[in-house]
Structure 1
Amino acid sequence: MTGAQPLINTAPRQPFDVCIVGAGVVGLALARALSLRWPKASILVLEQNSDIGQEISSRNSEVIHAGLYYPPGSLKARLCIRGSALLYEYCAKHDVPHQRLGKLIVAQAGEESALELLRSSAQTCGVDSLRWQSQQAFARLEPQLHASAALWSPDTGIVDSHALMQRLQQEAESQGTLIATHSRFLRAACQGPGIFDIDVDTDAGVGSHASHNYPDGNAAEAQDPFKIRSRILINCAGLSATRVAASIAGMDQTLNPELNLVKGHYFALSGRSPFRHLIYPVPDPQQRGLGIHATLDMAGQCRFGPDIEAISSVDYVVDESRREAFALAIKRYFPALDATRLNPSYAGIRPRLGPGYADFMIQDEYVHGCPGLIQLFGIESPGLTASLALAELVTLKLQDQAPL
């Protein structure tokens, strides 16, 4: 951190101990964890949208992953496994709707070796629950499933992501956390260790819920931004994380990674679901994704997705013309699919850091040299599963920054 310049406007700033940028599931989990760890701390969460969790956190498969797909030793592997245990415990304790449904990862003829590699890697990561399923065994579980081999993951499940975020919000707010929607981070400057001057675009200051819309995250800056000062600044802004990082004066921008937007579409299956469990094909060998899989929501509705589309700007439209490609992919493991039952559902966008596999990136002062600043980049899947573990890790990284 070098060459930090004070912000031009020197009006008095409202003081906070912690400012969190982004009220997705990770930001809310952080707010909860830090408010419980430091009950007397003043914590502010900035969210540019009209409500919490409107981007990545609410536009995904809502799956609680078991930690099968990630390289041994990676943050994704470690935090997914830890996060899964924490999330099941949290949901049970706080009555968040969830189900440990289990998942079948299926191979077609010639793909069996991919399943063995997956099982071996997962076991190295510490996932010992995977079991081979014979054709007779998985036919009993899922009579309409077509495959030559399958792995059974009993610890994969689903969660109501909206209910989870609402519960995290309630806990954080009960501890005094202030969550400000319609509040867009504009810029910050580090005026010294643990002194961040932050400008926020909001209609009526912190806590304002006045109508403000940023569909592309690039709205014009307010003429009279609200001003705060915080001892700790946490950037977990998801799709906007690199924009936020670029707006912190004096930061070495060579540390700001390139963000690749990856769009995934989902199609819902009308009528009764053919499956009672989650069904995943073998992972994409180029590590671009987990393939178009079948998931269930808490009401038992079946949906398929996501596919993968590289995009340059945020767009949540689901193109009906993708139905044919979806049907071809799904029929590999569900030949009886009636494609006319596939209906466009929703789309999500992931902030990927590389064209193929990329790990989570968490930058602290040992990376950028600025005490009190934590930046999270590339928090895509399994970010929902890992959210409580990410909050636990960041809280640990900030243990020396505890408010006086």
Structure 2
Amino acid sequence: MILAVTAGAPPASAADSSDVTFTNGGVTLHGTVVAPPGGTKLPGLVMVHGSGAHSREDYRDQAEVFAREGIATLIYDKRTEGYSQFSRSYSTLADDALAAVEALRKRPEVDPSRVGVWGLSEGGWVAPLAASRSADVAFVVTLGANGVEPSRQQAWAIENQLRRLGMDGSMVRMASSTMMRQLVGSGVFPEAHYDPVPVLKSLRRPVLGLWGAKDVLTPPGEAVRIFRESVAHPTLRVFPDAQHQLRRTTDGYDKLPGYAPGYLELVGTWVHALPAGPSADAAPAQDRPSTAVAPLAWYEPPWLQLAVLLFLLVAFAFYPLFRRGPAAASARWLSATGLLAVAGFLAFDVLIQVTMGRNLGPVLAGRPLPWLALQLLSLGAVTATIGTAVAWWRHRTPRLAVSLAGGVVFVPWAVYWGLLNI
């Protein structure tokens, strides 16, 4: 990120920087301490990353502002070992942050009794966890932190994005609920059920929680209420025209130049004063509440979904490959529409997860064109299933029986994934 020229942005000479290394669990992490020149007995701040791959440079602009505010800040490259989209441990990330705290406390310009942690987004789960494990952490600052489980937050964010793009109905429910429940149930959504509330309730040090009122990734109203009810010594502030990272915004999605006015200076003032008494802004309004991701029912396990998928592909491909027996136009139609619907849904599912609904083309009646095409193919497959049932009743051949079995199984499968729903 590049810090825009705004009030509070320091000149390039306002901070000194020096590189450091520290180790956790056999992994060596590299960072930089950014501090005001010639400072002594400075408060220290370790910046903990949001989700995804991040280097120290992603946070240097803010660290330089904090240096102007008289804070020595450690920024570091996020670990890549043991961290990916499908594998991560908040416990390990918290220990990384604690190793960074220990490295900063040893700096000659830093007051070791006044070192805290700052966490953005995913760091809003990690930073409080780190603080709960060590008395060496003097305070906690969070940006866009969640009071709910990661899976619940992600489902809320996905629905926001799809509705913003004009989508509604069964496709939105599929992507934000059914698909999310399958990802969680199959174990490919790491830390899906991490509950931040017990950690927040355990903290006995000052906590500064900051949110943008137009946050579309974290449910900000719920987060403010949960922090207010859970944290013993909270200072909670909401910035009206800011997004998830406290960048200026018009709608929560665009990023205007600069951060929310007063954010960076507030952190500096608060870190130096560390007020003990509670203080909280009103919780911002949310268009709708987040919803917990329900566990899978007995008929929904991922292995069964995979088995059904494979069966449908085989059953629909069987008719054109196995040519013995009488032909039926309805069975040929079922084979074509069924294969296209199933294979197309698989491609669409991947596309949704990769693009979050972007670049899917025009939206008609709340449906992007690819989804509308899949629904039309599914209706065609249901119609062809009825015709194939009539043909099988007349001829009773294995060729037609396999196709019919595929059509019968396809109907509840398509209902489950929203292909036959409004």
TM-score class, shorter-chain normalisation, is under 0.3
Q: Which protein shows a greater Rg?
A: 2
For normalisation by structure 2, the TM-score amounts to 0.26
Kindly indicate which of the two structures has a greater share of residues assigned to helix.
Answer: 2
Greater per-residue strand proportion: 1
The two structures have a TM-score, normalised by structure 1, of 0.26
